[in-house]
Amino acid sequence: MTELDISQRKLKHLEACLRPEVAFSLQTSGFEKVAWPYHALPECDLEGISLETTFLGKTLQAPILIGAMTGGAEKAATINKHLAEAAQHLGLGMMLGSQRVMLERTEARGSFQVRSFAPDILLIGNLGAVQLLKGYGPDHLERAMDLVGADGLALHLNPLQEALQRGGDTTFSGLTARMQEVVTSVSRPIILKEVGHGLGKAVAREVSSIPFASLDVAGAGGTSWARVEELVHHGKILHPALCDLGIPTATALQEVREVLPDMPLIGSGGVYSGLEMAKALRLGARVVALARPLLPAALLSTQAVIDTLEGLIFELRISLFVGGFSSLAALYRAAAENPL
């Protein structure tokens, strides 16, 4: 695949992600099966509920990251600017989209440069883990972070997406050992994430000795990247059952947490309401992330992204209040002491 192809493909991904068909239809994120307590005598004040937390050494005003989305095209620069300004305004974190295009094509770099809009945020870079088997090493990861001023970097695993992509990278043999080698040699925090089909107990066990700073389960139930890929290539979903494979986000959180109880987890994949965020945190996530629901707002303006996120924060705070949790710390405590 040429570098120009990558950039054109990014635009097609963006267009596809605005279509409703990219959402899972055969399974859900599983949060509807997680009961949330209702406490009619909360003994705390809604306004006093602090959502502040720390993640990877930085303070967040709420436990929310803008999920990894884009970069590499002109439209992506606008999207990233709006997302970054909103993150700065609200004190949230932001994950960038895959930076491979910017490592391979200098013209693509501008669209990833968000530090000037968001000098203080927790900013996470992104690369495909499979690139580690195609010549990328610790220097590429460090460079990707240096070029954008990132605090850490997420490596994404996406075998289903790659398998359904024409010319996708489907050689994964040896990746666990290679990740061990590379991650051990990088000084900043490295996160392992999926892209919407989920990390479960098997992966958690396989990577348990790799010094990842966090795992982002990116489970099934939100955006199906297999569906995105099929829409981009065929204009329709050809393999619906395959496209909806994956570990529902709620299950993914429970599984990974059971294997790696001390690992800070990111709950993402169809975490689209404040109540779902609260449930993900109750299941053991340290923070949550969401991607596609922010895309329409990010195409519009910074204010539209702020409004969307403020709506979610409003719901999250109310969920804690009526659940009888006086702070995020109290919710973390419940998750640690009484795992669901």
Ligand X SMILES: Cc1cc2nc3c(=O)[nH]c(=O)nc-3n(C[C@H](O)[C@H](O)[C@H](O)COP(=O)(O)O)c2cc1C
Binding stretches for ligand X (CB under 6 A): 13-14, 17, 67-70, 97-98, 126, 154, 156, 193, 195-196, 218, 222-223, 268-270, 290-292, 295
What is the smallest separation between the CB atom of 13 and ligand X, expressed in angstroms? 6
Structure tokens at 245: 């494979």
Q: Residue 128 is inside which H or E element, if any?
A: strand 123-128
CB 165, CB 203: distance < 8 Å: no
Q: Give the shortest CB-156-to-ligand X separation in angstroms.
A: 3
How far apart CA 241 and CA 184 sit, in angstroms, is: 37
Q: Which is nearer to ligand X, 14 or 121 (CB)?
A: 14
Contacts of 338 by beta carbon, 8 Å cutoff, 6+ apart: none
| Cα-based angle 21, 271, 158 (whole degrees, multiple of 5) | 65
Place of tokens 């635009």: 11
Which one, 266 or 320, has the nearer CB to ligand X? 266
Tell me the Ramachandran region of residue 91: left when phi exceeds 0, alpha when psi lies from -120 to 50, beta otherwise.
left
Rg, the chain, Cα only:
19
Report in angstroms how near the CB of residue 307 gets to ligand X at its nearest: 18
Give least dist CB 35 to ligand X, A: 22
- Closest to ligand X by CB, 67 vs 323, is 67
First to last CA, the chain: 45
Place of tokens 């970069």: 71
Give the span between the Cα atoms of 75 and 29, in whole angstroms: 29
State the number of CA atoms in the 13 A half-sphere of 325 facing the CB.
24
291 vs 194: CA distance, rounded Å: 13
Please state, as a whole number, how many other Cβ atoms lie within 10 Å of the Cβ of residue 62: 24
Q: How far is the CB of 326 from ligand X (least distance, A)?
A: 28
Nearer of residues 196 and 323 to ligand X, judged by Cβ: 196
Residue 79 vs 186, nearer CB to ligand X: 79
68 versus 118: smaller Cβ distance to ligand X: 68
User: Please, what is the minimum distance in Å from the beta carbon of residue 171 to ligand X?
Assistant: 19
**CB closer to ligand X out of 49 and 97:** 97
User: Minimal distance in Å, beta carbon 290 to ligand X?
Assistant: 4
The answer to whether residues 330 and 39 touch, using CB atoms and an 8 Å cutoff, is no
Residue (159 or 325) nearer to ligand X, CB: 159
The least distance separating ligand X from the CB of residue 270, rounded to whole angstroms, comes to 5
- The residue number whose beta carbon is nearest to ligand X equals 222
33 phi/psi in degrees, rounded to 5: -90, -5
